[in-house]
Amino acid sequence: MLYQSAPFQAAILFVSGPLVDQFLTKQNVFAFKYSSIVSAFIILSCIISVSVNFSTFLVIGKTSPVTYQVLGHLKTCLVLTFGYTLLHDPFTERNIIGILIAIFGMVLYSYFCTQENKKKQADQLVSQ
């Protein structure tokens, strides 16, 4: 679905992006003087974006959309944890409870996936 919708999203953003930017910043995006550093960061941002989309295709293709969502929650937990650890970003009770609930859900999901895989393997052995 992402593969099919990406060209339409790009076309819509190509048209609406400069208009919204003009409205919000009162500056024309095409009048900006792009230095080599700014251009390099734009290119780096594009490469990272394409990599994220490609990894999404790989994860969903090899696993399932539910697994992809679980990985998304894990990423959020890691971002909050590393923000606290490395940047000394304050943790609230809400953050901690959310992380614990997400980790509990990931553990349950992994457990049930493992149980289902074991059952499928056992069924395959019996049918052979």
- pLDDT for the residue 2: 65
Structural domain contains residue 20: no
Structural domain contains residue 104: yes
Q: Please give the full DSSP string across 25-39, using - where no structure is assigned.
A: HSS-GGGS---HHHH
- pLDDT for the residue 75: 81
- pLDDT for the residue 20: 92
Q: Which domain holds residue 108?
A: 37-127
13-72 pLDDT, tens digit per residue, is 999 999 998 999 888 888 888 899 999 999 999 898 888 878 877 887 888 777 888 888
80-117 pLDDT, tens digit per residue, is 788 888 888 777 888 888 888 888 988 888 888 888 88
Structural domain contains residue 24: no
- pLDDT for the residue 29: 85
Structural domain contains residue 123: yes
Counted domains in the chain: 1
Q: How far apart are the first and last CA of the chain?
A: 37
Q: What is the pTM of this model?
A: 0.52
Torsion angle (degrees, nearest 10) of CA 79, 80, 84, 85? -40
**Residues 89, 83 contacting (CB under 8 angstroms):** yes
Structural domain contains residue 62: yes
